[in-house]
Amino acid sequence: MNIVHGDNRAIASLFSALGRRLLQAALVALLVGTLCFFMTRMLPGDMAYRIAAGRYGYDMVTSAAADAVRHELGLDRPLLSALADWWSKLWHLDLGLSQVTGQPVIHEIAEQLVPTLKLSVLALGLSFLIGPTIGLLAGLRPGGWLDRSTLTLSVLLRALPSFLLGLLLVLIFSVQMGALPAAGHDDHGSIMLPALTLALGLAAVSSRVARDAMVSVRSSAYFAFALTKGLTLQQALLHHGIRNVAVPVISYLGVQLVYLIEGVVLVETIFAWPGIGHALVHAIFGRDVPMIQGTALILGLMFVIFNSLIDVICSLIDPRRRS
Amino acid sequence: MTAYTDSSAPLPSSGRRFSLVSRRGAGIVLLTLIAVFAIFGPWLIAIDPARQELSRFLESPSWAQPLGMDQLGRSMLARLAHATRLSLSMAVLGVLSAAIPGTLIGVAAAWRGGWIERVLTALADAVLALPGLLLVLLLAAFAPGQFWPLYVGISLALWVEYFRVVRAASHILLASPQVEASRLLGFNTIYLLRRHLLPVLLPRIFTLMRFGFAGAVLAMSALGFVGVGLQPPTPELGVMMIELLPYYSEAPWLIGAPVLVLFMTLLGLVLLAREEEAA
């Protein structure tokens, strides 16, 4: 009876957290959409002529064609009603056509989303292999050589922006050793360097979070008792350590998501990885507002969705959050 | 088992405190060096960073030109000093114009409550739901290569943190018995702010400023590096890095210089962290 009651409350609290995330997603769309609307209004030149040129080619632009475009898109209407129209298009997921390629933005993004997701997931996976593992070992012997050397390494890595870290890895692995391809996505293994760049940046922080959590687990009464009752260190870690270390590491991942999303934009651009971040930067080069809006929107939504996933995982591994 | 129990004994606190003091000290020294270079460098060097002598391109360091000449025969030291000044002044400007309104709005929201607070909180949530660099990128798209979109973007992305932290803390403080007593005694708003709110808020604001400063320097150089921030020939750290990258094997010191300045600035800020945030 009690348990059922607790579970219901747990689900209710999880749902209210997810509801907040949903609201956040709507706010992201509103913010990105509004910024992009004003961006189109502020672009130099007559917009109707430019869009007509984008549609029919520069040789075919006549003032009649421009007027047709102006009327169709409501460019001659007052600002507020045009803005409301823009929002309603966004609400119906009508992202428009790319002004550079002429393709629907939503198709372009669908193609770019897969590489970006691949890169982010691999980076997160690698960072979990590197960071918490090192943190756990360092936390077992606070002040030991591993603790001190990884602290130094973590401080140095945190002072190195992701684009410089990427450059450094290219110099080491591609130019000096010739082991991995430096850029592109055709060769096998070209995902390794961008993923490693992001993973090292994430691990620099998560290793310290795991280390501090491990130190507090190590000095806790329940861990001492587990060792006293005769469990080996491995058993005690497995049954009493890992889960307690995992909670702060996963929660902190929420903070690190900012680094991941910002890193995806920079690292994809530097490594020419054909994902959303790369597309966003190139859309800015080309002043392709529909593409800017679409890619920024997807990156913002990815941020919100990853955050909700972390909410769910945290409430799964930490029963205290459920009550 | 015994060995590992021994090694896990807490470190002597004096040793830990000493290492922390020396750590913060190193951070302060690094940042002071960079700040001195930024403030006095352009004035002491007194060479136009845009002056080209194409015959002297990629010249090696000498006594007259300690960092040599870049790919267009411009004085590298002068360019570096101007770039450092640009980055630091942008960061100071961005952080201040985020911290002051953010703090004031935060206190005001907690003080007034009601729909003003709800609207402001919704606005803050919207900004917070977008990673900061994305917001700066979106604004940079308004006018590529110009200073103001970067500045507006950085301030817009940063003010939210101050608002949130200050609002949450002010709520608790304003409801506290000591503030109530002061109010009953008839002290005015300014006194309440100075005596009760600021002493608690300032350390947190300084922590946020440290993070914000690093974020601003980073955002500007990252955007310059990928080509959507300031444009050449502006001496800016990220722009210089991408310009000098093709010459890294002939003249590694050239690209090394802006990288080192950026690295030392960020390292100084990381080292400045207090114990409770040193994780």
Q: How many A-B residue pairs are in contact by the CB < 8 A criterion? A: 131
Per-residue pLDDT at A201: 92
B-proximal residues of A, 110-149, CB under 8 Å = 140-144
Tokens 């103001």 locate to: B148
Per-residue pLDDT at B178: 85
- In angstroms, rounded to a whole number, what is the distance separating the alpha carbons of residues A205 and B278? 10
Residue B14 has pLDDT above 50, yes or no: no
Give CA separation, B244 vs A202, B88, B238, in Å: 28, 21, 10
Does any CB of chain A come closer than 8 Å to the CB of residue B185? no
Residue A242 has pLDDT above 50, yes or no: yes
Per-residue pLDDT at B278: 43
B230-257: string of b/e by CB count within 10 Å (b at 16+)?
beeebbbbbbbbbbbeeebeebeebbeb
Residue B132 has pLDDT above 90, yes or no: no
B225 contacts in chain A (CB < 8 Å): 163, 266, 270
> What is the arithmetic mean of pLDDT over A296-302?
90
Residue B175 pLDDT level (bands cut at 50, 70, 90): confident
CB–CB contact B279 A25 (8 Å): no
Closest residue by Cα to residue B98 from B88, B106, B110: B106
- In angstroms, rounded to a whole number, what is the distance separating the alpha carbons of residues A217 and A182? 41
Per-residue pLDDT at A5: 54
> What is the arithmetic mean of pLDDT over B125-130?
84
Distance from CA of B96 to the nearest CA of A (A): 22
- pTM, entire model: 0.83
Chain mean pLDDT for chain A: 82
pLDDT tens track for A157-198: 988 998 899 988 888 887 777 777 776 666 667 888 899 999
B-proximal residues of A, 49-68, CB under 8 Å = none
CB–CB contact A164 B262 (8 Å): yes
pLDDT tens track for B151-161: 999 999 999 99
Identify any residues that bridge with B145 across adjacent strands, giving them in sequence order. Answer: B230
Residue B103 has pLDDT above 60, yes or no: yes
Does any CB of chain B come closer than 8 Å to the CB of residue A41? no
Closest residue by Cα to residue A90 from A21, A38, A31: A31
Distance from CA of A1 to the nearest CA of B (A): 37
A31 contacts in chain B (CB < 8 Å): 126-127, 129-130
Q: What are the backbone angles phi and psi of residue B70, rounded to the nearest 5°?
A: -85, -165
- In angstroms, rounded to a whole number, what is the distance separating the alpha carbons of residues B215 and B91? 8
Does any CB of chain A come closer than 8 Å to the CB of residue B119? no
Say how many CA atoms lie within 13 Å of A138 toward its Cβ: 26
Tell me which of 3.40.50.2020, 3.30.1330.10, 1.10.3720.10, 1.10.760.10 is the CATH number of domain A105-321: 1.10.3720.10
B122 contacts in chain A (CB < 8 Å): 27
DSSP-based three-state secondary structure for B200: helix
B1 contacts in chain A (CB < 8 Å): 227, 233
> What is the arithmetic mean of pLDDT over B195-217?
89
Does any CB of chain A come closer than 8 Å to the CB of residue B141? yes
CB–CB contact B228 A212 (8 Å): no
Choose, out of A23, A24, A27, A303, the residue to mutate when testing the contact with B (most B CBs < 10 Å): A27
Residue A139 pLDDT level (bands cut at 50, 70, 90): confident
CB–CB contact B245 A299 (8 Å): no
Choose, out of A21, A35, A207, the residue to mutate when testing the contact with B (most B CBs < 10 Å): A35
Distance from CA of B256 to the nearest CA of A (A): 11
Residue B102 pLDDT level (bands cut at 50, 70, 90): very high
Q: What domains sit in chain B, N to C, each tagged with a CATH number?
A: 17-277 (1.10.3720.10)
- With helix as H, strand as E and coil as C, how does A19-73 read? HHHHHHHHHHHHHHHHHHHHHHHHCCCCHHHHHHHHHHCHHHCCHHHHHHHHHHH
- In angstroms, rounded to a whole number, what is the distance separating the alpha carbons of residues A134 and A146? 8
Closest residue by Cα to residue A32 from A238, A296, A282, A309: A296
- In angstroms, rounded to a whole number, what is the distance separating the alpha carbons of residues B31 and B218? 15
Does any CB of chain A come closer than 8 Å to the CB of residue B3? no
Residue B165 has pLDDT above 50, yes or no: yes
- In angstroms, rounded to a whole number, what is the distance separating the alpha carbons of residues B252 and A159? 20
Does any CB of chain B come closer than 8 Å to the CB of residue A70? no
Positions of CATH 1.10.3720.10 in chain A = 105-321
- In angstroms, rounded to a whole number, what is the distance separating the alpha carbons of residues B205 and A120? 32
Q: Could you report how far apart the first and last alpha carbons of chain A are, in Å?
A: 14
CB–CB contact B226 A270 (8 Å): yes
> What is the arithmetic mean of pLDDT over B111-137?
86
- In angstroms, rounded to a whole number, what is the distance separating the alpha carbons of residues A140 and A77? 67
CB–CB contact A292 B141 (8 Å): yes
> What is the arithmetic mean of pLDDT over A260-268?
91
Choose, out of A22, A32, A157, A298, the residue to mutate when testing the contact with B (most B CBs < 10 Å): A32
Closest residue by Cα to residue A99 from A60, A44, A47: A47
Choose, out of B23, B135, B137, B231, the residue to mutate when testing the contact with A (most A CBs < 10 Å): B137
- In angstroms, rounded to a whole number, what is the distance separating the alpha carbons of residues A251 and A259? 14
Residue A269 is encoded by which pair of tokens?
A: 């651009």
DSSP-based three-state secondary structure for A161: coil
ipTM score assigned to the predicted complex: 0.81
Distance from CA of B225 to the nearest CA of A (A): 8
